Copies of this chain bind each other. A is one copy, B any other.
Amino acid sequence: MSSSHLMNGFEGVSTAPQYCLICCEVADGHHFGAPACRACAAFFRRTVQLNKNHECPKNNQCFILSNVRNMCRACRYDKCIDVGMKRSAVQQRRDQLGKRDEIRSTSECFSRRGEPVLDTMKRAYEKLLVVRKSVHNRVENQPPRPICFSELQQVYLKEMTVVYQFLCEAFPEYYEFLPDTKRSLFKNFFLPFTLLESSFNGHSTNKQDVMLIPSGDYIDLEHLESYFTNNHDKFSQEKTISMFAQQFQLLRTCITHPLHAENVDTYEFLALAAIILWESDLEADLDRQNAQEEAIQMRNAIIRDLLFYYQSMNIYDDVALRLGTILSILPSIQRASYRFHEYMEIKNLLNLYALPQNLFDMFSPVS
């Protein structure tokens, strides 16, 4: 609306020919929202269509005029935007069907720098599993047993360090960040990862209704009596169980069942965990802004790796469909994680199966 007003005003002043607001040549009507010559219009269209990112070799203040309009692409483009050209006015490319198909076969091979991200992660995860055995004093072939709240708490106090180490090994990018950024990422990661991993390990031992925790023991979701053992002043055991049964039911419906329904494998589990880590929403300071950039790169790399994995497996007719199915479990995990945290908050408020502050803190997302 406003631009047409401007234009009316403009026309009112000079009924004579209009001039290209970018290079001052005689204009050829409006293009993408501004009076422009064909050349500048075409330049703008190409820049947008092909998603070019020009860089100015100087100070972003190059002089643009018809005879020198090609001296600096970045500044020419900037001027296009300044005079009111709209990227959104550039349309989808037409008639492009088929033309890319020949190209596609060649681009099938993924260009990746070094080793796949998920492979590094997988190695770090293998190591994590070994480390855990000693950290949690696990004897070889010790059979899993149901665990109670206070034991679980001990496990996760140790896990904080273990998981942090794991992240540093799995993602050199993570290791490089400033402590504050690392901490933020960690806090966003720890709880959903914990829930996802326990559910996954339960699932992968074919026991759907069990959370297999990092120490090797488990929480039996069907029989929470053994979890809520402590006698507590305020509430009876039954009461406690009925109060918090939902908390664990939640994990079943949001995490365990989807994992089971899609028969998620380890590599997929790692990919999900990795995306949760790199689904960062940081950018408060400079380091976090870098993290934000990095996070996007990482997520893309993860997806690429996962696709490559699917292609190599060669068991899915449509790898993209599988990818979509797996990724659409993500919101469930996130949701379960948030709700689970709410229950933890309630428990803390009631001082009922409360966590020590440092542990609770690590389970709490940043905000």
Q: Give every chain B residue within 8 A of A87 (Cβ-Cβ).
A: 206
Mark each residue of chain A from 95 to 121: 1 if its CB lies under 8 Å from any CB of chain B, else 0.
Answer: 111111101100100000000000000
Is A282 an interface position by the 8 A CB rule?
Answer: yes
CA distance A250 to B365 in the complex (A): 13
Q: A328-B275, A328-B330, A338-B335 are in contact. Are A314 and B97 (CB under 8 A)?
A: yes
Interface residues of A in 188-236 (CB under 8 A from B): 188, 204, 206
Mark each residue of chain A from 58 to 95: 1 if its CB lies under 8 Å from any CB of chain B, else 0.
Answer: 10001000011011110000000000001110011111
Q: Give every chain B residue within 8 A of A338 (Cβ-Cβ).
A: 334-335, 338
Q: Give every chain B residue within 8 A of A281 (Cβ-Cβ).
A: 250, 253-254, 332, 335-336
CA distance A73 to B320 in the complex (A): 27
Is A300 an interface position by the 8 A CB rule?
Answer: yes
Q: Give every chain B residue within 8 A of A58 (Cβ-Cβ).
A: 97-98, 101
* Contact of A92 with B71 in the complex, beta carbons under 8 Å: yes
CA distance A321 to B88 in the complex (A): 23
Identify whether the interface residues of A are mostly helix, strand, loop, or mixed.
Answer: helix
Q: Give every chain B residue within 8 A of A357 (Cβ-Cβ).
A: none
CA distance A57 to B141 in the complex (A): 43
Chain B residue with minimal CB distance to A251?
B281
Q: A58-B98, A367-B246 are in contact. Are A328 and B93 (CB under 8 A)?
A: no
Is A315 an interface position by the 8 A CB rule?
Answer: yes
Chain B residue with minimal CB distance to A96?
B314
Chain B residue with minimal CB distance to A367?
B339
CA distance A281 to B2 in the complex (A): 40
* Contact of B86 with A71 in the complex, beta carbons under 8 Å: no
Interface residues of A in 266-323 (CB under 8 A from B): 275-276, 279, 281-283, 292, 296, 299-300, 303-304, 306-307, 312-315, 317-321, 323
CA distance A87 to B265 in the complex (A): 13
A–B Cβ pairs within 8 angstroms, 19 of them: A58-B101, A70-B94, A71-B94, A71-B97, A92-B313, A99-B314, A100-B314, A100-B317, A107-B317, A188-B335, A254-B281, A257-B292, A275-B328, A279-B328, A303-B321, A319-B320, A323-B324, A335-B338, A342-B367
Q: Give every chain B residue within 8 A of A325 (Cβ-Cβ).
A: 299-300, 303
Q: Select one of B92, B253, B257, B275 contacting A331, CB under 8 A.
A: B275
Q: Select one of B91, B299, B332 contacting A328, CB under 8 A.
A: B299
